[in-house]
Structures are given as structure tokens and as C-alpha cells.
Amino acid sequence: MSVLPLVLLHGWGTHAGVWADVIARLDLGLAVFAPDYPGGEVAGSAAACTIEAAVDELAAIAPERCVVAGWSLGGQLALVWARRHPQQVARVALIASTPCFVSAPDWAHGMATATLAGFAAELAADPAATLRRFLLLETRDDAQARAVARRLDAALSARPPADRDVLARTLDWLRDIDLRAVLPDIRQKVLVLHGDRDRITPPAAGEYLAAHLPQARLVTLSGAAHAPFISYPDAVCKLMTDFCNER
């Protein structure tokens, strides 16, 4: 049985270049695809204004059968993809992701709505400063915070950021998505990777995913914040390789 292709989906405010070091370290002997969203052939598509439409367009350009891994918002796309196209998505890996990004009366594991609204207002005025602030929040409290921030910044600086409209649209996705009710519908095996110092998607969000997805396994990475694949690339790549090779 051959190993399936792997699709990597990046998080909000980033691009597919963030996966460069991961791709170099993965020992899979298979094709690895890292599209932007809306990106590649999806970029510029007026239809891809919802997360469902973006997922459908990504599915159309991805391998017929694959493993889908997503970081943060990318993990939410991966879950939507697995539910909408179960014959295509064999397995899912979620890195620092969450079923619901913003807090609610019945959800204490999200970002305050006012904080996210503040990011939206700042984005309209100064996208570069907003992305920089978000990057610092992603690495805050990491055991290697300064080094992780430098590595993440270097990866992101290698390519231009998404345009303001795409950033605003995908920030709206973060505000609006709540996948808690559909998690039992996602029957694929899921690997949940979460840093125990994550300030953006708290560890309890990863625990919730692992508890409510029918076939999920949680691995907590000690000392990692919101970008564990940058903090501990060897450990994450080993976990991903083993997951893709499982029979």
C-alpha cells in the first residue's frame, strides 16, 4: 500500500511558504502539496468567499486521495474538507487548531470577540503592523519565543503577504466558524498536535477536538506556543511522518 500525498494548509495571515522547513524535513517519499487559500488556481476566485467554497476549489486541484494537515485556520479548513469530501480525505492532522476561534457563553477556549474585532480594525488601517502583532502573539510564551519569532518571520518574509481583501475575508472566517456540532460527523483518523503554551488556540481547544472527533489522538508538545512546527520541527515532522505511514 503506497503512502498517500500530503496537503498542508497554512494559518491566517501567512502563506504556504511557512511550510518550507517542514517539507524539507518530512520523510515521506511522497508528493507534498502546500497551496495558498484562496491560492494557486483558487486565488482571485469570486466564488471562494466562504470557507466551504474555498475548500471545494482546493479539493478540485488536490490529489484524488490524500492526507490533509492544517495549522490553526488551516486546521478548520481541513475539518470542513474532510466532512465535505470524505472520499478524498483519508486522514487529517490538526496543528494548533480549534473548532471555534472566538469565545462564546458556552465556549471559554477562544479569543475574545473584541480582540478579534480590534485586529480587523487594525488590518483596515495598517495590514503590515497587524500581521506583525499577530506573529508576536503566535510566539508569545513559547520556550524559544525569540528564535521561533525570527524563524517564522523569515519564512513569511520570503514571499509577499496576501492582499488586504483576502486577509479580511479569512479573518471573517475565524470570527464566524463554529465546527463543534459537526465534529462527530468527521469519521477519519485525526492527529491533534497542540502546544501547551498556546495563547491563540488554548490547549483546551485541542483537548476538545480530541474528545469530540470519533477517531482522534492528541499529542501535546511541551514548551510550544501557537507554531509548534516551528518550535520543534523534528518532533512534529516525525509525528506527521508516522501518522501518514500508519496502516
Beta strands in the chain (DSSP E): 6-9, 32-33, 66-71, 89-95, 189-195, 216-221
Instruction: Provide the residue range defining the domain that includes 52.
Output: 6-245
User: Do 167 and 175 form a contact (C-beta atoms < 8 A)?
Assistant: no
Whether residue 1 lies inside any domain: the answer is no
Whether residue 169 lies inside any domain: the answer is yes
Task: Please list the active-site residues.
Answer: 72, 198, 226
How many domains does the chain contain in total?
Answer: 1
Give the model confidence (pLDDT) of 113-159 as tens digits.
Answer: 999 999 999 999 999 999 999 999 999 999 999 999 999 999 988 88
Identify the CA nearest to 5 among candidates 56, 60, 65, 58.
65
Cis peptide before 202 (omega within 30 of 0): no
Can you give the CATH number for the domain in which 134 is found?
3.40.50.1820
Whether residue 240 lies inside any domain: the answer is yes
Give the model confidence (pLDDT) of 8-48 as tens digits.
Answer: 999 999 999 999 999 988 876 668 899 987 543 344 444 45
Distances (CA, A) of 159 to 124, 134, 162, 220: 21, 17, 9, 30
Beta bridge mates, 104 = 107
Give the model confidence (pLDDT) of 147-204 as tens digits.
Answer: 999 999 999 888 888 788 888 989 999 999 999 999 999 999 999 999 999 999 999 9
Dihedral sign, Cα of residue 11, residue 12, residue 15, residue 21: negative
Exposed / middle / buried, residue 169 (Cβ in 10 Å: 0-12, 13-18, 19+): middle
Whether residue 113 lies inside any domain: the answer is yes
Whether residue 108 lies inside any domain: the answer is yes
